[in-house]
Structure 1
Amino acid sequence: MSADSLFQLLRCLRHQNLTLQKSMENSKRETDNELRNHTAELANNRFKIQHLEQTLNETMELHQNEVKQLKNDLNLIGARMDYQYNDRFKKIEEAVESAQNRMYRMETNWHENSEKLLGAGQNMWNVLMLSGANIVVEILKIALYIIAVVLDSVKPLTGTRKRAGVAVISVFLLFLLWNILGVSRIFSHSDPVAAVASSVPNNKLPE
């Protein structure tokens, strides 16, 4: 083989080597670019994930705090309601007990008076009066108990027992006025009919 052919072969190999070197450099450059892009994208995704985790943790912590606050508020409201209802029921029980004690004292006094009168040999009229008085006392006991229950039931709406009594009396008076006005209207409607009936002459047949 001659020197020219060897020189051409060497030039060809050198050209191929340069071409391969350039292609390798291009591939390395592209690979480096892709690696940098992937690294930047990975860092961006990692930052997004960290931000999402932080937001999620803050949201969960806020939600837990809100749930705790709601539980505390509910417990506080429940305690207040229990205290208010217990206080009201206690007051109602005290009022009923006081009314029962008063009724018991009244009944005891009536029984003592009745025993004294019966022991003194009073007549049947006194016995009947005492029996009627006992009946009246029982009716008063029932009426006082009903009034106490009604006043204690209306008291939470009005604030005080005095206002509750005024409200109940007002409703009762309005009911009475309504009934009286209804009866007066019935009589007022019946008067024209009676007037018309009286104005019609009685036609008597000749005998």
Structure 2
Amino acid sequence: MARDITEESGDGAAGGASGETITLEQKVLAKNEDLAGRNRRWLVAQGIVAVNVMSSPGAGKTTLLERTIGDLAGRRPVSVVEGDQETMLDADRIRRTGCPVVQVNTGAGCHLDAEMMRGALTTLSPAPGSLVLVENVGNLVCPALFDLGERSRVVVISVTEGSDKPLKYPYMFAAADLIVINKIDLLPYVDFDVAQCERYARSVNPHVRVLVVSATTGEGMGDWYGWVAEQG
């Protein structure tokens, strides 16, 4: 993520006494933090709970959101921010549930940021007291660095991935308020140790909550809805 730009001196030599090193990452993150703070204050004032859902591609985020929307229908208003590099495919899936959704395509970008979130909220205009589910761009690195102004962060890992993912991507799991281990209906067919994954997760985030679910069959989803309700 970090890029250093060295301004060349007048004689063309880089890194001389007049050289100035600017760390772009720090500037980008500082601007993002300011915008995220504005988003957070607005969401709190409206009584809106925003949950940032992150994972590697294929972990089942969209299926989790689809089932959540259906099962929470009538309990509270729900809207969705869909983040992807390209296409409207996931937004179309959410739209078929009848839930308001806005697609944010990041192009070459590997994450949503606070400015994108602000634009999405403006477009969605979520009702006061509602739930906004944010499906971030699928990867386990960049989204962890960018605060959106959300209430909570959720990392979804599926049993089709390695149990050691928390060790390989520690920053993402350390930043999580909740870890959802998904696709447990596939446990008989894959080599995945749930208990070991939980131990690895708590080695980087000792107090994180871990839920075990199948968004496809509905197993464990009651615990997920309970956690969502606790957010406000």
TM-score by length of 2: 0.19
Q: Which has the larger radius of gyration?
A: 1
- Larger relative contact order (CA 8 Å, sep ≥ 6): 2
Higher helix share: 1
TM-score by length of 1: 0.21
